Amino acid sequence: MNRMHIHINVKDLEQSIAFYSTLFGAPPVVTKGEYAKWILDDPALNFAISDSANQTGVNHIGIQTDDRDGLSAISKRLKAAGETTFDQEATSCCYAVSDKTWVEDPSGVRWETFFTHGEATVYGDDEAQAALETLKNQQASNVACC
């Protein structure tokens, strides 16, 4: 089963945990420092919040797969869509270890497709945003010079 993923930057983590726990009728399955996550079956959703960003709102959305084959299938579709993708293997992010493919849609919304296969003791880095920016700049340079 694939599960939708939404990660939102919030102003106040504790207030947001209370709000979303009431909305979902369940407490988060992970709560660490600046981060909380719910894994819901109805709707099938991996919902995360964090207060570590300067700006509130949607951080990124995505699709979580149950296995590497599911990730491979979605990654191939993203690559076929013609947008710049960035792949990561065994990366630590959001207190988990995952393989991922990142992409920005034509409007600049970040999408993450991922398969989680372990836990991490740290929140992790957001190297995907920097990598996507670098790839887009390289593409722009290639187009400009041709």
Burial (CB < 10 A; 0-12, 13-18, 19+), residue 17, is: middle
Look up the pTM and report it.
0.75
Number of domains forming the structure of the chain = 1
Q: What is the pLDDT along the chain (146 residues), one digit of tens a residue?
A: 899 999 999 999 999 999 999 999 999 999 998 999 999 999 999 999 999 878 899 989 999 999 999 999 999 998 888 788 888 887 776 667 789 988 888 888 889 898 987 776 665 665 655 565 665 555 444 444 33
Range(s) of the domain holding residue 39:
3-145
Structure tokens at 31: 């709560």
| pLDDT of 62 | 92
Q: What is the pLDDT of residues 67-87, one digit of tens each?
A: 999 999 999 998 888 788 888
CA distance 45 to 33: 22
Domain at 96, CATH number: 3.10.180.10
